[in-house]
Amino acid sequence: MFELSRDHEAFRALVREFAEKEIAPHAAAWDRAHHFPVDVVRKMGDLGLMGLTAPEEYGGAGADGDFLSLCIAIEELGRVDQALGITLEAAVELGIKPLVAFGTAEQQQRWLPDLVAGRALAGFGLTEPDAGSDAGATRTRAELDGDSWVINGGKQFITNSGSAMTSVVTVTARTGTREDGRAEISAIIVPSGTPGFLVEPAYDKLGWHISDTHPLTFTDCRVPADHLLGERGRGYAQFLNTLDGGRVAIAALAVGCLQACVDMAVPYAGQRMTFGGPIGRKQGVAFQIADLRVMLEAARLLTYKAAAMKVAMDRGVPGAPSRAEFKQSASIAKLYATEAAVTGTRVATQIFGGYGFMEEYPVARFYRDAKILEIGEGTSEVQRMLIARGLGLPVE
């Protein structure tokens, strides 16, 4: 049986109180207005959420923080609004983590303090019209011209890339050709406001209306050569490393979504009267809610297991799982939790009946928000492929 420590439970209570006070009363209005609440995101930084996995020297939690704490925070934010849950996930896993893992001391000193404190946000520009999990299909190019990289191309679906708080976006680009003929992919840091870096208008999305998401265009965008993140040609490997943890974090967001479904469905089924009694008395409804509870419990345990594996691996604990073992666990958690969340929101909406189709009820917002969980940071199809490969199957 997996049990959280008292410290983790106390931390959960702290984040839940924050989410219910600062986010829940306003989430529906922000969603309708497609409003990105800068002040609340900064308060998330004040609470220490951005620095949960960052070094203490840059204002992070250091040894007092861990990846499991981050997953708990994402879950609790996602329980009241999925879009602000993804804002935290992307800020830490896609924005801060690459700088911590691969940045030079100068890069870290320049950008991490504000990112960790929540005074700024960073984006991670990987996805293109023909490239995502298949990073080798990247078309964005960066050529070294003297002491500068000149970037041309475009990215799409980039979170935290165009807000008033965004200070930098790390982008992957083709920087040459490897000896085996494949594209050499590198990662380059592009500060906001750099000439030639255009943040296109925000997407009109099905869900996650509060989240800041834009396409990006680079036209002869010039940045100093020392803005290369990590080793030249290692951008693809860095991307894979980044996504492993991100998949568990998305699973945590899905757990928050499932918790919200249970939280909404149980009282509604006890109060909604039909044929002389509450609908929760009917087995057809009660059994669906029971299944929701089962999916929630299974998704949470799979997610916490993967998160705990990462903590042990990161800390070098004796007997810690290998990276291959963790990758399998991450894909399993992401696949199950996200598909369960999509099913769970459909079931919860059905329980609410006609009211579930009305935007005045939060269940409709969660229904819209859930679908992207099966797509972002590796689709369900990609997770099944990775799981099959982990079993030794020669799947392509």
Give yes or no for a contact between 200 and 216, defined as CB atoms under 8 angstroms apart.
yes
Rounding to the nearest 10 degrees, give the CA dihedral for residues 64, 244, 86, 211: 130
CA 253 to chain centre: 7
**C-alpha span between 224 and 150 (Å, rounded):** 9
The residues facing 218 across adjacent strands are 153, 197
Retrieve residue 144's tokens. Answer: 């070294």
Q: How many C-alpha atoms does 118 have within 13 Å on its Cβ side?
A: 19
Contacts of 18 (CB under 8 A, 6+ apart): 43, 44, 47
Q: Could you tell me if 181 and 239 are in contact, meaning their C-beta atoms sit under 8 angstroms apart? A: no
State the catalytic residue, choosing from 20, 377, 381, 396. Answer: 377
- Beta-strand ranges (E) seen in 208-345 are 213-224, 228-229, 273-274, 277-278
Other beta carbons within 10 Å of 43: 15
Q: Is residue 377 annotated as part of the catalytic site, yes or no? A: yes
The three-state secondary structure class of 306 is helix
- How far apart, in whole angstroms, are the C-alpha atoms of residue 270 and residue 334? 32
In the chain, what is the straight-line distance between the N-terminal and C-terminal CA atoms, in Å?
Answer: 36
Catalytic sites, residue numbers: 377
